A and B are shown apart, each in its own frame.
Chain A
Amino acid sequence: MNRYLKYMAGAVLLVIALAAMACQQDAEPPAQSTAPTAAITAPTEPAAMTAEATAMPADSESTSMTNQGDSRLASVMSRGTLICASNDSLAGFGFADASGNITGFDIDLCRAVAAAVLGDADAVEYRPTTASERGPTMQSGEVDIMSRNTTWTSSRNATWGNFAPTMFYDGQGFMVPKNLGVSGMMELGGSSVCVQQGTTTELNLQDFIAQNDLDIEVVVFPDNVATNAAYTSGQCDALTTDRSGLVSTRAGFASPDDHTILAGTISEEPLGPVVPHGDEQWFDLVSAVMSMLIYAEAYGITSSSVPTAVTGDTAIDRLFGLEGSYGQEDMGLSMTAAQDVIRAVGNYGEIYDRHLTPLDLQREGSRNALWANAPCTDCPKGGQVYAAPLR
């Protein structure tokens, strides 16, 4: 009896082994033949993975179907909401107020995209994200757009997603309590500095310390709340983040006048919205919405003066879909999308004035003035805010 079972088991195992071998033989030739093409697109990809991927043809097909067959624009429209990764604790940029509504400069950029695509600026689902969650959130593709005071860097561009035009130029600075009598960044040697985790800020600080050979103790916290609490209680002598963030943070202090923001910056921080990799049409669309905001201001159109009939000014008429086209059809936008956008959130200047001017972030004369005014000699406002011309 026992022996009989042993043979049975042996036979079954043999069958399995044979089946496995057959499968491998099936899988190997295509793996080898596709390996060269795979190597061109991703030279660092280990060959084993390529083989594994091709060994499961059914799976790879179904995955690519969901990724390519279904464009992000289509899925946003069928969902009826735009999923926007945002900040909820940085006053002026993205901040949840007492009643739980998230408002801010970055938030209005998401609202503008929702207005363009869905005709409703309120059709946005916010995903408050911490700084260190941003990368994985973008890579998973679970959000349609991230507008969360995020610095455009080459490595983020390569791994997180595509950065739409820069909507705010920033630079990293330091804030210290006035009573310490520090007058410049170079005097920070021997101090301890609070910094938020998972930010370019953290990396820039390291470079600053290394370049200037300063003895600075770095204290890292995971979010704005803990970082600011540690700074205000004096656990660290200085706080570092983007200057706009410092201004916004200081405005929230009980006694803002006791703190001084040191002159100068240690980095360039162009901030703008990011969209996931893999859907160029969506990237183009989001970039065009940023253009609408910028050019509406350049043309002097505000939320209360959006034209609905031909004005005679070709550029304005083209922007608002009254004459000609700037590529709306190819991006999947309605011809009059800009009307919805500007009516809902206003032009770039209005958004800035609504959220950032109250924080004393001077726009005039800064990099955040419009470039559209710049190339001429008689426009002193010239800044760096620009996007692809709409034509």
Chain B
Amino acid sequence: MTELARILTYQGIPVWRHTRVIQWAAQILSAIVVVALVAWFFANVANAVQERGISYSFSFLSREYHTPIGDTFVPYEPSDTYLYAFGVAALNTLVVAVAGVILATLLGIFIGVIRLSGNWLVSRLALAYIEFFRNVPLLVQLLFWFFIMLVLPPERDGYVIAGQLYVNNAGVSFPWPTGTGQPIATLIWLILAVVAIIAGFVVSRRLSRREVETGRTSYPVLLGCAAAVAIGALGWLLVNAFAGDAPLAISTPEPQGRFARIDGGFTARAGMIVLLIGLVMYTASFIAEIVRAGIQSVGRGQTEASRALGLSQLNTLRQVTFPQALRVIIPPWISQCLNLTKNSSLGLAIGFTELTSVAQTMTQLAPPIPIFIMLMAAYLAMSLTWSLIGNLYNRRIRFS
């Protein structure tokens, strides 16, 4: 009550001239405007949609899709549902995005480092690479690689290298491990293989810490690899003994039938190869510049000091310059990962059935608005995942 009395008897700056009141009022007003705009937008869309008789129900997702998808990394039958087909396509995009980011990062670091090389020719070559690939539109580059790929001979009389590697304009096929008759044995061995790799890492870390602490040479990398291989091999023998069958076999590609289509092994189809080459070349040119900027942001004194301590040029880069440069590199690098993921939607121009391409096909027999909402949500989810991973790593390498 006394509070209320105080408010009622308040005598200070008039309310309408009080800064904080004005600030609050402005905040609330703008919030109302934003909410009203969004509501108006949605009502408008809903109205237009209703008047034109466009459906926006998601019920089509459980219907059978009945349309082929060119590239698939998981088994897909035309009798599968729209939802499953959407997932298959999302996986295609995801595979390209992950492979693309890894390759583009490696290539980008390489180009960025040699861009700073003292060798005039090498650094100018890197410069030419960067300026060419980042200044030509990605779609143009993709179409260029697409038509380059078509110059290769067709599948029926393509190149065969050592009887194992098939190169033709439909794709590149190579031997690939496949499971044998017993999927459980394969699965157990794969789990063991993961365990082996983790164990190898642990061993190598332990040994390298010992090396640092005691100064004794401990061969961390060599022994780590040896541990991983040993556990993997032991697992193989055990699984083989219990299941009576090797956990994995090698499937080799081989032409089949009158059209000599290649069966077996793993075939990276033309669309995916072209898209990966295009995305990697393009994105690497940006990453190279980011890497160069990062390395140059590290003070010259750091390099000079480590050289004076007797570290080789490579070791200076690995142990001194690059770890410090990472702080500068990571945030813009995350943006490039996002760009690459989103740019993969251009795959539809060159015949790779990625997410956007499949979604477009779906709009033939299903309402477009829900499909595009799902499409946006899928890209948003992928981008946010990249951001999350990048930001977590960024937090780890920051100076504490």
Report which A residues bind B (CB closer than 8 A): 1, 3-5, 7-9, 12, 16, 42, 44-46, 49, 52-53, 55-56, 59-60, 63-64, 67, 132, 135-136, 139, 141, 155, 159, 180-181, 187, 189-192, 197-198, 202-203, 205-207, 209-210, 217-222, 226, 229-230, 233-237, 277-278
Contact = CB atoms under 8 A, between A and B. Distances in A.
Contacts of B87: none
Main secondary structure of the interface of A (DSSP, over half): helix
Contacts of B307: none
Contact of B351 (A5, A155, A198, A219): A219
Contact of B259 (A9, A45, A192, A278): A192
A16 to B, nearest CB: 7
B28 A59 contact: no
A219 B271 CA distance: 9
Contacts of A42: 50, 53
Interface in B146-164: 146-147, 150-151, 153-156
Given A190-B257, A197-B360, A198-B360, A53 B46 contact: yes
A233 B42 CA distance: 48
Contacts of B188: none
Interface stretch (B66-74, B293-301, B336-344, B389-397): B66-74
B258 A190 contact: yes
Given A202-B361, A203-B66, A205-B68, 4 more contacts: A4-B10, A12-B24, A46-B57, A192-B261
Contacts of B364: 132, 135, 198, 202-203
Interface string B35-63: 00001101110111011111101000000
A12 B22 CA distance: 13
B46 A52 contact: yes
Contacts of B155: 192, 234-235
Contacts of B349: 222, 226
Interface in B15-36: 15, 20-21, 24-25, 28, 32
B348 interface: yes
Size band of the B side of the interface? 35 or more
B40 A220 contact: no
A218 B154 CA distance: 15
Contact of B43 (A52, A136, A159, A187): A52
Interface in B112-160: 146-147, 150-151, 153-156
B261 A191 contact: yes
A5 B154 contact: no
Interface in B341-400: 348-351, 353, 357, 360-361, 363-365, 367-368
A189 B261 CA distance: 11
Interface of B: 3, 6-7, 10, 12, 15, 20-21, 24-25, 28, 32, 39-40, 42-44, 46-48, 50-55, 57, 66-68, 70, 78, 146-147, 150-151, 153-156, 169-170, 256-259, 261, 270-271, 348-351, 353, 357, 360-361, 363-365, 367-368
B63 to A, nearest CB: 12
A198 B206 CA distance: 57
Nearest to A189: B257
Given A159-B54, A180-B259, A234-B154, A59 B47 contact: yes
A86 B78 CA distance: 31
A139 B170 contact: no
Q: Give the interface centre of B28, B44, B258 by most chain A CB atoms within 10 Å.
A: B258
A44 B147 CA distance: 47
Nearest to B359: A132
Given A56-B40, A233-B151, A235-B150, A209 B351 contact: no
10 contacts: A16-B28, A49-B46, A56-B43, A190-B259, A198-B363, A209-B68, A219-B70, A219-B351, A221-B351, A222-B349
A203 B50 contact: no
A185 B234 CA distance: 53
B24 A210 contact: no
A202 B67 contact: yes
A55 B53 contact: no
A230 B47 contact: no
B66 A206 contact: yes
Q: Give the interface centre of B25, B28, B68 by most chain A CB atoms within 10 Å.
A: B68
Contacts of A226: 146, 349-351
B357 A197 contact: yes
Nearest to B365: A155
Contacts of A206: 66-68, 78
B68 A218 contact: yes
Contact of B368 (A135, A191, A234): A135
Contacts of A132: 360-361, 363-364
A149 B80 CA distance: 30
A4 B156 CA distance: 83
A235 B258 contact: no
B357 A222 contact: yes
Given A52-B43, A55-B43, A217 B57 contact: no
Nearest to A237: B259
Contacts of B170: 192, 219, 235-236
A203 B259 CA distance: 23
Nearest to A238: B259
Contact of B261 (A63, A155, A217): A217
A221 B357 CA distance: 9
Contacts of A44: 55, 57
Nearest to A9: B24
Contact of A234 (B169, B271, B350): B169
B155 to A, nearest CB: 7
Q: Give the interface centre of B20, B170, B353, B357 by most chain A CB atoms within 10 Å.
A: B170
A52 B56 CA distance: 15
Q: Give the interface centre of A45, A220, A226 by most chain B CB atoms within 10 Å.
A: A220
A218 B271 CA distance: 12
B12 to A, nearest CB: 8
Contacts of A217: 70, 261
A299 to B, nearest CB: 39
A59 B40 contact: yes
Nearest to A3: B3
A219 B40 CA distance: 43
A229 B274 CA distance: 15
Q: Give the interface centre of B15, B54, B349, B364 by most chain A CB atoms within 10 Å.
A: B364
